[in-house]
A = this chain, B = another copy of it.
Amino acid sequence: MNSTKYKGLLKGSLQIIILKLLQNNDRMYGYEITQVVKEITNGEILLTEGALYPALHKLEKEGLLTASVELVDNRARKYYALSEKGRAKVKVKLNETKSFMGNLALLLNLNPKMA
């Protein structure tokens, strides 16, 4: 994952970001994911292709995502969606992430009202 502001910070969050967006959106393609993340975070988290595409391939390989290519304006788009297995996984991963962020907030004295 990339961003000018958070260089190298909190690796390992890309997976859950992808999974969560697909939990909300039914189906999305890679480039769309980069744009949505950029919008939601006001340009503060900028995903790089070098991180995103391998991550999508891995999730697909693990059976958490299904993929289907479509031609739009003569350009290929690869749409991803959560599989059954993927839908179950998001829930588990989200809870883990929430819990971890709560603990991290505790360690950093960040007043973890979010817990």
- Which chain A residues have a beta carbon within 8 Å of chain B's beta carbons? 5-6, 8-13, 16-17, 20-21, 24, 37, 40-41, 44-45, 94, 96-101, 103-114
Closest residue of chain B to A37 (Cβ to Cβ) is B107
Closest residue of chain B to A114 (Cβ to Cβ) is B114
Closest residue of chain B to A104 (Cβ to Cβ) is B13
A100 to B101, CA, bound (A): 11
Closest residue of chain B to A45 (Cβ to Cβ) is B103
Closest residue of chain B to A21 (Cβ to Cβ) is B107
Closest residue of chain B to A19 (Cβ to Cβ) is B108
A110 to B97, CA, bound (A): 10
A21 to B109, CA, bound (A): 10
